[in-house]
Amino acid sequence: MAKKALKYADAIREIEQILEKFRTEQLDVDTLASEVKRATELISACKNRLKEVESEVSKIFEA
């Protein structure tokens, strides 16, 4: 089964949830590393999506 692509807005929402856990000190030592890893993955996915959109928009303006 193919993995469903994460939407940009959903990734941002999840990053915000992780940040809120940091701010309110809800993260324990056992989950800290996994939450940081997940946040890093989400940020990377967002950057890639923004680059894709920038490229698409540039192509539209070049036409």
Sequential pLDDT tens for the chain (63 residues): 455 788 999 999 999 999 999 899 888 888 999 999 999 999 999 999 999 999 999 999 887
What pLDDT sits at residue 29?
85
This prediction has a pTM of: 0.82
Rounded CA gap, 16 and 14, in Å? Answer: 5
User: How many C-beta neighbours within 10 Å does residue 4 have?
Assistant: 6
